[in-house]
Chain A
Amino acid sequence: MLRDITLGQYYQTDSVIHRLDPRVKLGGTILYIISLFFFENIFGYLVAAAFLAVVIALSRIPFKYIVKGMKAILFLLLITVIFNLFLTPGTPLVEFFGGRIRITYEGLKYAVFMAIRLSFLIVGSSIMTLTTTPNNLTDGMERMMRPLKLIRVPVHEITMMMSIALRFIPILLEETDKIMKAQMARGADFENGNLIRRAKAMVPLLVPLFISAIRRANDLAMAMEARCYRGGEGRTKMKPLIYQSRDRIAYLSLAIYLVCGIVVGRL
């Protein structure tokens, strides 16, 4: 049941995208997301779509699997579209209830662009998490944020917290699933009833879940201390990140995409 959430989970396979340096993927994703908000016409989005399609094809992740993850944000997408559609002022296209609710030309345009932007944003960033293990991802982040150490930002600690959090997502999902089933076996009902009843029905799920999360955190802290973990000071990496030629090619492709996109998208 909860396993259906594929958004952001690592997908095990071997592809060029999987082997890329996490810094390339992180930087690429950020640039890609920014680029999405720069385009002013549909052609820019066509370039973005083509780029995304190539990356998905290279990553060898089934398209169906990516779409499944989109289901989780369908609701958010819908709200954004509806708000944009009805609340943007401009030239009216259709009017309801004597002009009190109207769809404008600008509204339609923003709604469509927003829908495209959001879905590309989600797909683009999920490609990153689908092809990068949490450990790799945080390694990349730590390396990229290293300059921030100069202004006393605890970079190592932040990324360590992040990698632990990411690592625990599937574990906690599994745990939730298990506790849910156990309570359902005791007659608990998570699906029916009004809002208040449903909120109350969460107690038998949340209490055990928090307890288990705290227990796990405690165990992990002990295990880390037992192995003499004491923060990032003087810590070396077993597999330091080094750029390969494929990473340079990836940076180059990214640059080409950006140039093409901006030229076409802002004509």
Chain B
Amino acid sequence: MPILLDHVNYIYEADTPLAQKALNDICLEIPDGQFIGVIGHTGSGKSTLMQHLNGLVKATSGHIYFDGEDIDGAGFDKRALRSKVGLVFQYPEHQLFEIDVFSDVCFGPKNLGLSQEDAEARAREALESVGIPEELYHMSPFEISGGQKRRVAIAGVLAMKPRVLILDEPTAGLDPRGRDEILHQIKSLQEQTGMTILLVSHSMEDVAEYVDRIIVMNQGSVMLDGGPREIFRHYRELEEIGLAAPQVTYIMHMLSEKGLNVDVDVTTIHEATREIVEALKHP
């Protein structure tokens, strides 16, 4: 089992009067190759949880195993772990610093100890996979557009060839088109490489179309964990914690209540359209 979380707790600012429980007894299994959406409200602990997975934050109690090894165990190489579990932070464009786009993407692979040539090859590959055209390679990362910056920053992590890629709100602050582009690229990346992907978001709409599994976080605990169809069936509970199911779910439920024979479990607009057309053809 690649990643296993065993009763993980995290207390923020432990031992100070500001102490706050950020994670509460988290037990999770993350198998290889899954595309997982991690959903939760601001402050639900989702970002903190993600930072545990590559050892940036140490659990107050509990264990995290990567390939069966305890990541807080003595002699465990955390830097090696960070190359296997790539983490793209919120607003990753804020971490860009090099003189040009290309050398910024090379930063990660070079830190892994790769030669200049290998690092460049990986940077090229990573930039291609996020759709950055070659004419931008030698521009300053501060001259390109917001959406491009974001993709360059994602490429910076991809160039390390992680087995697990965590993206913390990769679409925050992007317009709908930029959002769709990034999400599509992530999906096709996952299909091509079989990488495990964890996509953190507060919007069901964002993830519904792409993921195989959804983990819903609330107040530091895992509230729901399952396939999208299963999760959206709980749409009333989701509403109680300030989240919502995708609009499709609501429409399908309403149609069903009005007597139209449709499957209320569909998750994408595409499926919903087909379902409604079918139901109207054969009443």
A60 to B87, CA, bound (A): 41
Tell me, yes or no, whether B97 is within 8 Å of chain A by CB: yes
Binds A, one of B32-40, B78-86, B264-272: B78-86
- List the 3 shortest-distance A-B pairs measured between CB atoms, nearest first: A187-B111, A207-B97, A182-B95
A11 to B17, CA, bound (A): 9
Tell me, yes or no, whether A228 is within 8 Å of chain B by CB: no
How many A-B contacts at CB < 8 Å in the complex? 64
Interface centre among B54, B82, B111, B112 (most CB of A within 10 A): B111
Q: Are A183 and B82 in contact (CB under 8 A)?
A: no
- Known contacts: A65-B17, A178-B89. The answer to whether A186 contacts B160 by CB under 8 A is yes
**Beta-carbon contacts under 8 Å, B138-184 to A:** 142, 156-157, 160
Q: How large is the interface on B (under 10, 10 to 19, 20 to 34, 35 or more residues)?
A: 20 to 34
CB neighbours of B56 from chain A (8 A) = 181, 184-185
Q: Are B79 and A187 in contact (CB under 8 A)?
A: yes
Question: A65-B16, A189-B79, A211-B94 provided; 18 other pairs, C-beta below 8 A?
Answer: A3-B13, A13-B17, A64-B15, A65-B17, A68-B16, A178-B94, A179-B94, A181-B89, A182-B89, A185-B54, A186-B107, A186-B108, A186-B157, A187-B107, A187-B111, A187-B112, A188-B111, A207-B97
Q: Are B94 and A187 in contact (CB under 8 A)?
A: no
The chain A residues found within 8 Å of chain B, CB to CB, are 3, 6, 11, 13, 62, 64-65, 68, 178-179, 181-189, 203-204, 207-208, 211-212
Q: Are A182 and B92 in contact (CB under 8 A)?
A: yes
Complex partner residue of B89 from A62, A185, A187, A189, CB under 8 angstroms: A185
Complex partner residue of A184 from B17, B82, B96, B156, CB under 8 angstroms: B82
- Beta-carbon nearest neighbor of A175 in chain B: B94
Q: Are B97 and A187 in contact (CB under 8 A)?
A: no
A contacts with B: majority SS: helix
Interface centre among B54, B89, B95 (most CB of A within 10 A): B95
A207 to B111, CA, bound (A): 18
- Beta-carbon nearest neighbor of B16 in chain A: A65
Q: Are A187 and B83 in contact (CB under 8 A)?
A: yes
Q: Are A185 and B111 in contact (CB under 8 A)?
A: no
A65 to B16, CA, bound (A): 7
Least CB distance, A82 to chain B, in whole angstroms: 30
- Beta-carbon nearest neighbor of B88 in chain A: A185
Tell me, yes or no, whether B219 is within 8 Å of chain A by CB: no
Q: Chain B 51-64 against A: per-residue CB contact (8 Å), 1 yes, 0 no?
A: 10010100000000
CB neighbours of A65 from chain B (8 A) = 16-17
Q: Are A183 and B95 in contact (CB under 8 A)?
A: yes
Q: Are B142 and A211 in contact (CB under 8 A)?
A: yes
Q: Are B94 and A185 in contact (CB under 8 A)?
A: no
Q: Chain B 65-108 against A: per-residue CB contact (8 Å), 1 yes, 0 no?
A: 00000000000000100110011110010111100000000011
Q: Are A185 and B96 in contact (CB under 8 A)?
A: no
Q: Are B16 and A181 in contact (CB under 8 A)?
A: no
Complex partner residue of A186 from B13, B51, B111, B142, CB under 8 angstroms: B111
Q: Are B157 and A185 in contact (CB under 8 A)?
A: yes
CB neighbours of A185 from chain B (8 A) = 54, 56, 82, 86-89, 157
Can you list 28 contacts pairing A with B, beta carbon distance less than 8 Å? A6-B16, A64-B15, A65-B17, A178-B89, A178-B94, A179-B95, A181-B51, A181-B56, A182-B94, A183-B95, A184-B56, A184-B82, A185-B54, A185-B87, A185-B88, A185-B157, A186-B95, A186-B108, A186-B111, A186-B156, A187-B79, A187-B82, A187-B160, A188-B107, A204-B97, A208-B95, A208-B96, A208-B97
